[in-house]
């Protein structure tokens, strides 16, 4: 297992923001990951698991603890007809294309999501009208408090929009299985390619970003549309700016800080609140230390969440 002290984290974030971690580990297997978490828990040391580094804002001051990066855990297996298993670090675009080549349908939506299987399960990642929950069969999940690894089925996960029953501060997805119907490989690849091309046309690719910033506040109210109508594309804080291509994306123009990003997120929320009387809640997770005032950006409730 690769084990590095005082490791810079910005390179492992799709937003390219983040200070140093006290320690960065790259386990290469499920057993290594389980053993590492047990060791950290026993010594009462803080830890945080990341995959591809998307949907994540890392503090510019870094992280005081051990960051566990799963991207060397990438094994993929077809267990039986229509059942695909992937380790937590397998990247969704690669998994979607691999499945398409094997004639397995259902992951076409994921080709443009720059995350990994572990994070996608915890966040119930989705796009193009589908999500992980639509094809999810089960997952091996480590409960860090008990040290027990459990196979959790779909009914155990309580999937909702962009979340599930797992607590990322406690639970670690080690691998997941997906139910995928067979189809003609050329047809699956055609749909996969269409979704990939749509992403190229509608999402910012020239500057680092962390993916969609805010959740949709209501099923019929897309955050991107509301932000666009609220006129946020002119907003900028230091070297963090709202994308001119898609209003629900924040881009790093070069050297942006986490403080600048949060200040920009607050402005975006305020404009939507003033125009539509709706609160937007971020999709992103955070790593590192932020003030209570900064974390208030994450603590507002949308109408959808209030109903749940």
Our CA angle for 161, 164, 170, nearest 5°, is: 145
- Residue of 23, 69, 91, 162 marked catalytic: 162
What's the pLDDT band for 202 if we cut at 50, 70, 90?
Answer: confident
Assigned CATH class of 2-69: alpha beta
What's the pLDDT band for 302 if we cut at 50, 70, 90?
Answer: very low
Give the pLDDT confidence of 50-107 residue by residue, as tens digits.
Answer: 999 999 999 999 999 999 999 999 999 998 878 999 999 999 999 999 999 999 999 9
What's the pLDDT band for 141 if we cut at 50, 70, 90?
Answer: very high
- Six-digit token string for 135: 């094809």
What's the pLDDT band for 301 if we cut at 50, 70, 90?
Answer: low
Q: How far apart are the first and last CA of the chain?
A: 41
Q: What is the rounded CA–CA span in Å between residue 95 and residue 16?
A: 24
Give the pLDDT confidence of 21-51 residue by residue, as tens digits.
Answer: 999 999 999 999 999 999 999 999 999 999 9
CB 287 within 8 A of CB 50: yes
| Mode of pairing for the β-strands spanning 130-131 and 126-127 | antiparallel
- Six-digit token string for 142: 């480590």
Cα–Cα separations (whole angstroms), residue 102 to 77, 82, 83, 107, 228: 11, 10, 11, 12, 39
Cα–Cα separations (whole angstroms), residue 88 to 57, 133, 264: 20, 16, 32
Provide the CATH number for the domain formed by 76-200 in this structure: 3.30.465.10
Alpha helices per DSSP H over the chain: 30-42, 92-101, 117-123, 154-157, 185-202, 223-229, 258-276, 292-295, 303-307
Q: What is the rounded CA–CA span in Å between residue 172 and residue 284?
A: 17
Give the pLDDT confidence of 162-196 residue by residue, as tens digits.
Answer: 999 999 999 999 999 999 999 999 999 999 999 98
Provide the CATH number for the domain formed by 223-307 in this structure: 3.90.78.10
Beta partners for residue 78, in sequence order: 84
212 is catalytic: yes
Q: For the ranges 200-209, 245-254, 283-292, which has the lowest average pLDDT?
A: 200-209
Mean pLDDT, residues 131-160: 97
**Which pLDDT score, from 0 to 100, does residue 300 have?**
65
- What are the boundaries of each domain within the chain? 2-69, 76-200, 223-307
pLDDT greater than 80 at residue 307: no
- Residue of 175, 212, 243, 258 marked catalytic: 212
Our CA angle for 140, 145, 148, nearest 5°, is: 35
Cα–Cα separations (whole angstroms), residue 267 to 38, 214, 222, 271, 279: 41, 13, 18, 6, 12
Q: What is the rounded CA–CA span in Å between residue 265 and residue 86?
A: 34
Mean pLDDT, residues 207-217: 96
**Which pLDDT score, from 0 to 100, does residue 305 have?**
41
pLDDT greater than 90 at residue 199: no
By C-alpha distance, which of 115, 102, 110, 89 is closest to 172? 89
DSSP result, 190-242: HHHHHHHHHHHHHS--SS-B-S--B--SBTTB-HHHHHHHTTGGG-EETTEEE
2-69 and 76-200, same CATH topology: no
Percent of the chain with pLDDT over 70: 97
- Write down the mean pLDDT value for the chain: 94
What's the pLDDT band for 308 if we cut at 50, 70, 90?
Answer: very low
């Amino acid at each position: 297992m690769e084990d590095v002290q005082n490791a810079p984290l910005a390179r492992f974030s799709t937003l390219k923001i983040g200070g140093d971690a006290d320690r960065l580990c790259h386990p290469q297997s499920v057993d290594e990951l389980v053993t590492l978490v047990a060791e950290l828990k026993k010594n009462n040391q803080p830890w945080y698991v990341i995959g591809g580094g998307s949907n994540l804002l890392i503090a510019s001051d870094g992280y005081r603890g051990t960051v566990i990066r799963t991207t060397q855990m990438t094994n993929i297996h077809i267990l039986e007809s229509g059942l695909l298993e992937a380790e937590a670090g397998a990247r969704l675009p690669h998994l979607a294309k691999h499945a398409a080549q094997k004639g397995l349908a259902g992951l076409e939506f994921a080709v443009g999501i720059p995350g990994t299987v572990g994070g996608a399960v915890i966040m119930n990642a989705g796009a193009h009208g589908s999500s992980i929950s639509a094809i999810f069969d089960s997952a091996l999940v480590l409960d860090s408090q008990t040290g027990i690894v459990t196979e959790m089925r779909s009914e155990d996960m309580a999937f909702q929009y962009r979340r599930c029953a797992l607590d990322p501060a406690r639970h670690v997805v080690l691998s997941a299985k997906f139910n995928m119907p067979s189809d003609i490989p050329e047809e699956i690849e055609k749909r996969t390619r269409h979704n990939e091309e749509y992403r190229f046309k509608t999402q910012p690719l020239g500057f680092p970003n962390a993916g969609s910033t805010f959740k949709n506040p209501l099923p019929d109210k897309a955050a991107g549309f509301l932000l666009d109508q609220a006129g946020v594309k002119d907003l900028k804080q230091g070297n963090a700016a709202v994308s001119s291509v898609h209003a629900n994306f924040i881009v790093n123009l070069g050297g942006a800080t986490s403080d600048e990003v949060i200040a920009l997120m607050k402005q975006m929320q305020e404009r939507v609140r003033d125009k539509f009387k709706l609160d937007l809640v971020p999709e992103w997770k955070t790593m590192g230390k932020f003030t209570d005032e900064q974390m208030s950006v994450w603590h507002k409730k949308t109408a959808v969440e209030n109903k749940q």
